[in-house]
Chains A and B, each alone.
Chain A
Amino acid sequence: MATPQKPGSVVQGTLDMLILKTLALEPMHGYGVGLRIEQISKGVFQVNAGSLFPAFRRLERQGWIRGEWRATENNRRAKYYMLTDAGRKKLKSEAREWQTQSAAIARILEATSGEV
């Protein structure tokens, strides 16, 4: 499942969490998810279709999200993804894990010479 990562794109593994988080706000179609991640991250993360769609398929298979065909605001049919209960649980645990880790990393990076 090695999806090639271009420099500057989202770290493998965190993309799943970002998608889950985005979908936790509201059900969205594929392009919307990518756009939303880019907007919220103020352009730091640019998610291309090559990472996005395999991730959807992956998360769908795991049972964390499910898709549903709906009409868009422009009245076109699009596949909207939404979080399942399992996905919600997964997101919670992922977020907790991430916070613990990033806090730890931040502490290490901010350490002054005296502490090391």
Chain B
Amino acid sequence: MRLVNIISGGLRALFGKQRVEQELDEELRCYMESAVEHKMREGMGREEAAREVRMEMGSREALKEQVREVGWETRIESFLQDLRYGLRMLRKNPSLTSVAVLALALGIGANTAMFSVIEAVLLRPLPYRDANEIVRVASTWDRNGTLTSYTSSPPDFFDWRDQNRSFSSMFAYHTGEFALTGQGEAKRVRAVMATAGMFSTLQAEPMLGREFAPEENRKGANHVVILSHSLWQAAFAGAADAIGKTIQLDSEPYTIIGVMPADFRFPLSGSDAFAPIGFDDKVMTQRGAHYLAVLGRLQSGVTLAQANDDLSAIMAQLRKLYPDKDGKWGVRAQLWSAALVSDIRPALLVLLGAVGLVALIACANISNLLLARATVRHRELAMRRALGAGRSRLVRQMLTEGLLLALLAGGASLLLAHWALVSIVHFGPADIPRLASVALNGPVLAFAMSMSIACALLFALIPALRSSALDAAGLLRMSMSPSREAGRLRGALLVGEVALSMMLLAGAGLLVRSFVGLSSLSPGFDPKSVLTMSIAVPDAHYKNSAALQSYWDQALTQLRSLPGVASVAAVTPLPLSGDDFSSSFRVEGRSVPEKDEPSAELRFASPDYFRTLAIPLRQGRAFAEADRLGAARVLLISETASRMFFPAGDAIGQKIKFGASGGYEKNEGEIVGVVGDVRHFGVDAPVPPTFYVPLAQSGMDSAAVVMRTQGFPAGLMQAARKVVQAIDRDALVGEPVPMETLVSASLGQRRFYMMLLGGFAALALILAAVGLYGVISYSVAQRTQEVGIRVALGASGSDVVAMVMRQGLRLAAVGLAIGLALALVLKSVLRGLLVGVSATDPATLAVTALVLLIVAVLASYVPARRAARVDPMVALRFD
């Protein structure tokens, strides 16, 4: 009842405003008349009585305002009024408005873009039902106290899956590729090989057909495949009768048993087909072969910690049962969503912090502009105050103006953010999961909106509180001669801006320096003019290793004969390709328990590999054509491996036997030479100890060819693919890629972080320069008279310039000093992002400070020049 009254009363006042106002007016008049009559009855004259009543009642407008403010409707009304008024103020000062909107739009836009990256990569739930129950289970290896996650072996996986009490389901998978053949040129099919638990763990089902059955995870029974929606569309035009048909994958028949829905993506980078892993009978003996990724779904009510305890207990048991293979392995369960981004999250959070500073600088900037304007506006505010506007009313009005400004900027920022996102999608590194899916979606828009409002509060509150704290007389005084205190506040804001900019610039400078250092590092080979192309041949076409080897011989010979090709070789896995192959090994004559055996990377290479990539031979000999099947097995060793395993320098002549990992069991050989190190995992990653095995002694069905060309002759790429396809049309031949592209891509994440932080720092610099320029210009305008007097008294133009610039540079210098101190904080923040550069690198800090100083000089020089041109006569007549 009361609520109804309150609401209806308000609505009546809002819509029947005129009548309500009229009534109030009439009521007050009636009150006055009654009062006058009363006083007259007490013996006063009419004139005198009326005067006294007016005195007693005070301003009628103020009184009416008080009555109006009782209802809630006046809040809306005054808000609309403020809005209209604010719009008029913004229109009246187009230059202030555009500078403020632009500065703020840059700040909010950068934040919105950064937040959308965070949203897409870190915050957005994974596209599976109850994705927060999905856990990545990894084998761990204790490396000097830090646990490193690895893939797991099939027997370990089976034991975890069958013995745990925490997971409702668990599956193992690895990715690979098939050549889709039988329809002209072989097409690349990105495949996931998984165990049957995949569907229940991911809680996804085929839209057509069925899932794998557990018995299909056996070699021989595993030639069934589930297609992705897109492959089904491409190969079968979406026909429902595709189920039961056969397709040729790697020249072997696979029966299509299902099709996944269009929105199913696994792994997150996408794939085209899903097939069961075909484990052979010996699988339970391959406990050392770590090549499976494992995901599980937690039972409801089971915590991650409980799951970890459960798995650790099982693993402890396995370590006891299989001390040779499992003796040093542990296990760790992590939320999958967290595990996916564990190495990316810290960098993104640092960037989010940096971009937040940019917004802070933008706010300080606008606060400063508004403070300067507030001085000019004090006369207007004094008037409003005198007419009866209360303090809160003035604060509200100024906040509304700020909000208006911020919302305009927020709108403009979306445009900026959109452009930023387009370039992020285009230039962003491929190895940040889901980066390509950034979008201005609901959460991002909400962020931009709240960011705008928060900024408005931040930058409008200081000027609003300052102005409204004064009464009418004080405001009027302020409008005549601005106080020192206002100048100090503006100076302090500017110092803050410069300090934060200095910090951001220093951070960006350090990243640039670290990046430049990394870029100049050699990957261990010469990538210039080298083209690479991956080839996978269908096993089914080649009876044995000798048949495979003759394929490689033929391919290399054909490629070598192409015009513009200087030398050709084959290798697997290719450096910087992301693929890798490692194995434990034992040195003949050294007796070490199996669990303590060292491990190293293995590469399979043709004889010309070292010459083609210009990897230097340090000792002994490289591979020769004669190192083939049937000949004595030989090995090369990298410098790092030689140093690690044969510190006495006696590597050559040693006999090595490799362990069982990855099914590469029977290989052994004698070391015949030492070659230079190759940074296989990226120029910024540690150099792995590596052994090389002759490709011709290993029977590989896939490898990458590397071709050193004479300046990438036109047409070579197509020609190279053609000659290789002509040998076996079912072979899967990749697009040729310049080796330099791989080198550059290996620094993709670092380049991305550097460019983002660099962009933010550039924004900060621009904002700080605008802020400095604004403060100095304003103070020059304020001091026109003073300058005029000085010039009249004989000060030269350069005296005036020096005087004005001293003021600007003093503020900048204080900001720089504080910024340098703040930059020391970067040390802990940037540690993970810097390689080869100390976070307190004096050269970088000096250059940064210099850049900022130059900008400060320019930003104060322009207004200083203007001051020097002041005509003393005009100046003295001023105001």
Which residues of A are at the interface with B, using a C-beta cutoff of 8 A?
1, 3, 29-32, 35, 48-50, 53-54, 56-58, 60-63, 72, 74, 76-79, 86
Contact = CB atoms under 8 A, between A and B. Distances in A.
Contact of B57 (A3, A48, A57): A48
B1 A86 contact: yes
B31 A49 contact: yes
Contacts of B28: 49, 53
A32 B34 contact: yes
Contacts of B63: 49-50, 53
13 contacts: A32-B34, A48-B57, A49-B56, A49-B57, A49-B63, A50-B57, A60-B9, A61-B5, A61-B6, A61-B10, A61-B70, A86-B1, A86-B2
A13 B410 CA distance: 44
A79 B23 CA distance: 9
Given A48-B57, A62-B5, A63-B1, A57 B71 contact: yes
Interface string B37-69: 110000000000000000011100011001101
B858 interface: no
List the 9 closest pairs (A to B, CB-CB), nearest first.
Answer: A31-B34, A63-B5, A57-B70, A61-B9, A78-B30, A30-B31, A53-B67, A31-B31, A49-B57
A59 to B, nearest CB: 10
A38 to B, nearest CB: 11
B69 A1 contact: yes
B130 interface: no
Given A31-B35, A31-B38, A78-B34, A54 B5 contact: no
Interface of B: 1-2, 5-6, 9-10, 23-24, 26-28, 30-31, 33-35, 37-38, 56-58, 62-63, 66-67, 69-71
B77 to A, nearest CB: 15
A57 B2 CA distance: 14
Q: Is the interface of B mostly helix, strand, loop or mixed?
A: helix
Contacts of A74: 37
**Most A-side CB within 10 Å, residue of B38, B57, B70:** B70
Interface of A: prevailing SS: helix
Contacts of A32: 34
Contacts of B30: 29-31, 72, 76-79
Contacts of A54: 66-67, 69-70
A30 B56 CA distance: 15
A74 to B, nearest CB: 7
A58 B70 CA distance: 6
B44 to A, nearest CB: 16
A1 B9 CA distance: 16
B27 A53 contact: yes
Given A49-B31, A49-B57, A77 B1 contact: no
Nearest to B30: A78
B252 to A, nearest CB: 83
Most chain A CB inside 10 Å of its own CB: which residue of B23, B28, B34, B69: B34
Contacts of A48: 56-57
Nearest to B53: A49
A100 to B, nearest CB: 24
A45 to B, nearest CB: 15
Given A1-B70, A57-B67, A86-B2, A76 B33 contact: yes
A13 B5 CA distance: 20
Contacts of B1: 63, 86
Contacts of A29: 30-31, 34
Contacts of B9: 60-61
A68 B10 CA distance: 18
B846 to A, nearest CB: 57
Contacts of B62: 50
A96 to B, nearest CB: 19
Nearest to A63: B5
Contacts of B67: 53-54, 56-57
